[in-house]
Structures are given as structure tokens and as C-alpha cells.
């Protein structure tokens, strides 16, 4: 359905913005969360592929803002404002946060999916951005693609085919 449009591809722990004739996509979300923030009036959409809930988990030198929910979501909003999005018109759709493996052990990294989802929702609430639709949790990987012209988020999984939210 989006075949005649340019696709902006966003990798893991990255963020980017698409306008008008473009769509924006990220592939193979597992425990990661894809956060789409969009302004319908300007037909502009941003996507961040979040890996971890909180930048306080970072023990390295340099901080990659798009990796964490608490830094990635605000950073995306800032970039979108610079590209002409109107702050109070922003809405969000989110997908991901699955648990890919069922382990008996109660390890923290196994619960990372739900923690990512919670952290993303926290940030969106703080920024006053309503979540219009979500497809989170479960145990399937997801590829998502957003079309700023229709504001539809297409979600593809291996076992349940394709759906729009």
C-alpha cells in the first residue's frame, strides 16, 4: 500500500523524521519499542527505536539519546519542532515491548519489554502527548511503518500478518 512512497528507515537506537511523501519504518522490534510522534496538520512524523527504559542504566562514556526512553522521546519532539511540527498538536502511536523468550528465571533483562513500554508512556505523559493507538506486549517481533498522510501505523508480524492501527 505504501509502495510508491519513499521510506525513511530507522535502525535500533536511532531516530528520524519523515514528511509528506515519505513513510517511516523500523524493522524487527522485539523488546524494543517503536515510538511514532506525528502532527497530522503538517503531515510530519518522527520515529524513535528505544532499546532501554532509562538513561540512568548507562554506564558508558557517551550517551546515545535515541537508545533510552527518557532521552529519546524528548529528543525526537525537539527535532520535530525544528522541522515545523506544532507542539500541542502532537500525537503518538507506539508498538513493541514484547517478551521474545519465555524464561523461568526472573532476570531483569527478560522484563525489559514491559519496562520499555512503561517508560515510553511516562515520557509521553510528561510531554502531554496523547497515545492514539498502541500494539504492545505479547511475544511477537514487529516491523512498523507509519504514513504521515494517513496517520496509519502498519504493523507486520511473522504469525499474525499485517494490520493498521
Partner 1 sequence: MDIQQITSFHLDVLKEIGNIGAAHAATALSSLLNTKIDMHVPQVEMVTFNDMMERVGGAETFVTGIYLRIDGDISGGMFFIMPVEQANQLIRKLIHDETFNFAQSPSELGLSAMQEMGNILSGSYLSALSDFTSLKLYPTPPALASDMFGAIISIGLIEVSQISDYVIVIDTSIIEQDEKDGTEEVSGHFFLIPDPDSFSTIFTSLGVQ
Binding residues for partner 1 (CB under 8 A): 11-14, 27-32, 51-52, 57-60, 62, 64, 67, 98, 100-105, 107, 109-110, 112, 139-143, 158-159
Smaller CB distance to partner 1: residue 25 or 93? 25
Q: What is the nearest approach in angstroms of partner 1 to the Cβ of residue 98?
A: 7
Q: Are the C-beta atoms of residues 120 and 69 closer than 8 Å to each other? A: yes
Smaller CB distance to partner 1: residue 32 or 45? 32
Smaller CB distance to partner 1: residue 21 or 109? 109
Smaller CB distance to partner 1: residue 90 or 144? 144
DSSP SS3 for 123: helix
Using alpha carbons only, give the angle 112, 37, 96 rounded to the nearest 5 degrees: 25
Q: Which regions of 11-157 does DSSP assign to beta strands (E)?
A: 15-19, 22-29, 33-39, 44-50, 91-96, 131-136, 142-147, 152-157
Question: Cβ–Cβ contacts within 10 Å for residue 27, how many?
Answer: 16
Q: What is the nearest approach in angstroms of partner 1 to the Cβ of residue 112?
A: 6
Q: Are the C-beta atoms of residues 77 and 87 closer than 8 Å to each other? A: yes
Q: What is the nearest approach in angstroms of partner 1 to the Cβ of residue 23?
A: 16
Catalytic status, residue 20: no
Q: What is the nearest approach in angstroms of partner 1 to the Cβ of residue 35?
A: 16
Q: Which of 10, 29, 32, 95 is labelled catalytic? A: 32
Q: Are the C-beta atoms of residues 33 and 117 closer than 8 Å to each other? A: yes
- Enzyme catalytic residues: 32
Amino acid at each position: 500500500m505504501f509502495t510508491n512512497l519513499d521510506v525513511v528507515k530507522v535502525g535500533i537506537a536511532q531516530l528520524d523524521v519523515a514528511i509528506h511523501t515519505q513513510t517511516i519504518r523500523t524493522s524487527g522490534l522485539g523488546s524494543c519499542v517503536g515510538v511514532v510522534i506525528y502532527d497530522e496538520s503538517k503531515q510530519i512524523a518522527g520515529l524513535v527505536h528505544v532499546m532501554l527504559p532509562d538513561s540512568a542504566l548507562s554506564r558508558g562514556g557517551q550517551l546515545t539519546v535515541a537508545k533510552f526512553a527518557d532521552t529519546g522521546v524528548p529528543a525526537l519532539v525537539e527535532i520535530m519542532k525544528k522541522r515545523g511540527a506544532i507542539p500541542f498538536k502532537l500525537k503518538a502511536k507506539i508498538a513493541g515491548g514484547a517478551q521474545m523468550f519465555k524464561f523461568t528465571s526472573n532476570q531483569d533483562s527478560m522484563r525489559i519489554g514491559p519496562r520499555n513500554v512503561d517508560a515510553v508512556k511516562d515520557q509521553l505523559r510528561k510531554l502531554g502527548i496523547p497515545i492514539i493507538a498502541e500494539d504492545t506486549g505479547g511475544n511477537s517481533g514487529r516491523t512498523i511503518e507509519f504514513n504521515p498522510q494517513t496517520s496509519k501505523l502498519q504493523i507486520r508480524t511473522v504469525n499474525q500478518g499485517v494490520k493498521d492501527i
